[in-house]
Amino acid sequence: MLLRDNVHFYPSPAGLDFSGEINSNSVLVTGSKHVLIDPGLSKRWEELKEKIVADGIDLSDIGLIFCTHSHPDHAEAACRAATELGADLLMALAELDFFVQGGAIFYYRTEEGVYLPIKGNFPVFETPDLNRFIKGFPGPFFFAEHKFRLFLTPGHTPGCMSLHWPDRGLLVTGDVYFPGTIGSVELFGGSPSSMYRSVRLLSGLQDVDLVLCGHGGPLEGRQAVEDNYRALMAEIEDKKAKGVI
């Protein structure tokens, strides 16, 4: 779905319903070479490819896959996609470190230092090959003819990274926040205080009038973006008053 020039949005049908299968939204930034953000679950990769092709986009022109963080619903398909497309992979250095230090528990359960497939009600996800990722850092980031800004925005995980594209007024937040609510801070690696600082950081970006989150629909127009930040800050202040943050 084309939202504005060079910005395609592929929403997860589940939206903000986290009671069933959870898959992230995906974003495609097009240019002389394209950037695919958060390819999602491996089992949904073929479906995502079909949607991209239906938009008239040549998959071979995807040159970079950027993962906002390492959770399976955002990053499981990354290595498979990169292999098929001949694309590079990018994730925050802090997130790659987090994965090694325990974030892999979302793919495998550790018992006495041994990684075992998660069983029971949890699916077994394909573990990403971390050696294939470019280690991303906060700051300006150039790809093809586009200049992006990368922000380290921890809180959901220690290495969540948000992507800002000033030329299109675009901000991609991953799971830092959604329409109407902040991302979860209760999972392993989450931090309420870091989440608060990350939301404050992103709320200070003035040249944003389109926000695409990891789950839920787009926030389009400056008024919608500002209204959402007011709702997020009210939620944060309420949680601070209750001693949650």
Measured between alpha carbons, how far is residue 210 from residues 30, 216, 229 in Å? 16, 13, 13
pLDDT at 33: 97
Chain centroid, CA 77 distance in Å? 13
Query: For residues 48 and 82, what is the distance between their CA atoms, to the nearest angstrom?
Result: 14
Q: Is the pTM of this model over 0.85?
A: yes
Backbone phi and psi for residue 89, each to the nearest 5 degrees, phi listed first = -120, 145
Cα–Cα distance between 32 and 188 in angstroms, integer?
A: 38
Position 37 scores a pLDDT of 98
> pLDDT tens digits, the chain, 245 residues: what are they?
999 999 999 999 889 988 888 999 999 999 999 999 999 999 999 999 999 999 999 999 999 999 999 999 999 999 999 999 999 999 999 999 999 998 988 887 555 555 555 555 556 788 899 999 999 999 999 999 999 999 999 999 999 999 999 999 999 999 999 999 999 999 999 999 999 999 999 999 999 999 999 999 999 999 999 999 999 999 999 988 887 76
Taking residue 127's Cβ as centre, other Cβ atoms within 10 Å add up to 17
The reported pLDDT for the residue numbered 116 is 54
Distance CA 99, CA 123 (A): 18
Helices (H), ranges, the chain: 45-54, 72-75, 78-85, 93-100, 192-203, 222-241
Return d(Cα 214, Cα 161) in angstroms, integer: 12
Domains of the chain, CATH where assigned: 2-241 (3.60.15.10)
Question: Measuring CA to CA, which residue among 213, 82, 243 is closest to residue 231?
Answer: 213
